[in-house]
Chains A and B, each alone.
Chain A
């Protein structure tokens, strides 16, 4: 059974902008424009796209915060906008940009409120809290007021708060924003654990593609509210028509190498860079170079996912 189902979902915003001194103009922004996808229980899905693509809007519809303008949504068997509080017991939400914790109170108090509001049975609550405290190293922070926590500590606190009630789905909207490398690694490790061990379905929005590479088996790319890619990370390279690079060290400077299936993109003394389609095999190209040129050393560089996605965004016509 699909845990998350969207069918032709759209959300428009009407914006009133001042034009000239008195005239006001109404303009419609299609933040989400005919989106359909399903997510199965246990998946970890990366949800990416450029600024303003409609990621946050989608997540808000999936939590019931926003009512869709059109289309059908179901999460854990519930229509989010219609039965928001019922859904709330089945989902966990983390907004990187804002906290669900109580600013002036110790971390522990926020968790205790969650226990009451989600009506978590005591034994379950203690087990979940212990596990989160251990995995996220929250022990020393439990009695600290939230306003005194660093951004990374607070994010860990927020993650725990979203998981105490054993949600079936965890939505994360930019959970690693503003975190340093160490904190990012810790958050990722935790999310992996939650997804693989506890089996929680994860939908993750981020601008840090390392998050996706390390966590998600599946990526959805949206732009202008429309899905432009949905599939595995490797498939993304093919779709993005990405290229791998063969770096060749010759015995001495030479004219640009000419071999079938690759083209020289850069020459620097005895070193040359050859680009070829990512889905092609490197072997015949290497063989051709070795046969025709005094080859000393070589290496193959994988395409950077950033480049692939940047190229993908650029291809989408502005609509």
Chain B
């Protein structure tokens, strides 16, 4: 082992050899290999990051229960609006109140879960300006995991919790024959819907790499889109419904699969396969969002300094 001369002339043995091979462990153990391993590492990174933010939030002793309660109250107003509408009519676009409850419940649940898991990504522009993205990029964890977990707080459980209550109520109030295909479809749409909204959050936020004020646009697709999905497709113009089917795939969150569950005709007259295509639409959304994120990182210019 080589010895090194230090200032005072005494020689010191280096604590470890100098060769670049002197890594702690074989590389294969350190860097996740393969697609599945990398995905698991991305999730694990998110989890580690989210745990840190949860602990950081505890440094400020605002009452968790109080804030969660306030959160539930505010998001509940959305559905109160729907209920008030039904004071004067018992149908909206041909849909009953329990049916609207199902629309509302699924849309709010999907949005709420996506917001809980990845919603923080919409502050990307601020992270870029503050330089915290640089810090994330030097860690051996996917930057997207870290950005999505930033400011993670369970307080955001308010919306999905409240949506679940509405969902349970509407399922009990509806006269639907819950055959296995419908149960499965409901479960699939909740997951797919969460994924679609998540992809919209990420894809929309990615625009902030190029255009600092893109947050408003992204919010109009996510929060605005969720509000759109509270109402039946029949109350909107056909062009709009087509737009959220073939453009931004919002219709796959709940409109299309609920047509099958509730046995309603498709206002666009699309093939029935569309009503089962939510998982496919979700997968495509993830692909597009992932490609956009990659392009964004390559275009990243740094915070300056």
Contacts and interface: CB of A to CB of B under 8 A. Distances in A.
Interface of A: 1, 3, 13, 41-42, 56-57, 60, 63-67, 76-77, 81, 84-86, 88-91, 93, 95, 97-100, 102-105, 109, 113, 116-121, 124, 145, 165-166, 168, 192, 196-199
Interface in B113-137: 131-132, 134-135, 137
B16 A199 contact: yes
A119 B31 CA distance: 9
Given A64-B138, A99-B135, A105-B55, 7 more contacts: A42-B18, A65-B300, A84-B137, A85-B31, A95-B131, A98-B134, A166-B23
A196 B138 contact: no
B131 A98 contact: yes
Contacts of B18: 41-42, 199
A52 B300 CA distance: 19
Interface centre among A65, A95, A199 (most CB of B within 10 A): A65
Contacts of B59: 104-105, 145
A105 B137 CA distance: 20
Contact of A67 (B20, B45, B142, B298): B298
Contact of B305 (A67, A97, A113): A97
B25 interface: yes
16 contacts: A41-B18, A60-B302, A63-B138, A90-B23, A98-B131, A98-B135, A109-B55, A117-B140, A145-B59, A165-B24, A166-B23, A197-B6, A197-B12, A198-B16, A199-B4, A199-B17
B181 interface: no
B131 A113 contact: no
- A contacts with B: majority SS: loop
A100 B138 contact: yes
Interface in B17-51: 17-20, 22-25, 29-31, 45, 48
B134 A95 contact: yes
B217 interface: no
Contacts of B29: 119
Given A105-B52, A124-B24, A89 B298 contact: no
Nearest to B25: A121
B20 A41 contact: yes
A118 B6 CA distance: 30
Contacts of B7: 192
A66 B305 CA distance: 13
Contact of B48 (A13, A98, A113): A113
Contacts of A109: 52, 55
B298 A198 contact: no
Nearest to A101: B135
Residue from B30, B132, B142 whose CB has the most chain A CB atoms within 10 Å: B30
B139 to A, nearest CB: 6
**Chain A to chain B: the 5 pairs with minimum beta-carbon distance, closest first:** A88-B140, A104-B56, A104-B59, A199-B18, A93-B138
Contacts of B298: 67, 81
A103 B59 CA distance: 10
B6 A65 contact: no
A166 B142 CA distance: 20
Contacts of B55: 105, 109
A217 to B, nearest CB: 12
Given A85-B31, A102-B56, A197 B4 contact: yes
B141 interface: yes
Contacts of B301: 13, 66
B24 A121 contact: yes
A88 B20 contact: no
A88 B138 contact: yes
A80 B300 CA distance: 14
B90 interface: no
Contacts of B239: none
B140 A86 contact: yes
Contacts of B177: none
A198 B20 contact: no
B12 A117 contact: no
B137 A117 contact: no
Interface string B1-16: 0001011000010111
A65 B302 contact: yes
Contacts of A99: 135
Contact of B24 (A81, A91, A116, A120): A120
B300 A89 contact: no
A86 B16 contact: no
Interface in B58-92: 59-60
Contacts of A103: 56
B140 to A, nearest CB: 4
Given A117-B139, A117-B140, A197-B15, A77 B20 contact: yes
B206 to A, nearest CB: 16
A71 to B, nearest CB: 16
A186 to B, nearest CB: 16
A168 B20 contact: yes
Nearest to A91: B138
B39 to A, nearest CB: 13
Contacts of A67: 298, 300
Contacts of B31: 85-86, 89
A76 B20 CA distance: 7
A198 B305 CA distance: 29
A65 B29 CA distance: 24
A117 B141 contact: yes
Q: By CB atoms of chain A within 10 A, which of B12, B14, B25, B302 has the most?
A: B302
Contacts of B134: 60, 65, 95, 98
In this complex, the member of A84, A85, A90, A119 whose beta carbon has the largest number of chain B beta carbons within 10 angstroms is A85
B137 A63 contact: yes
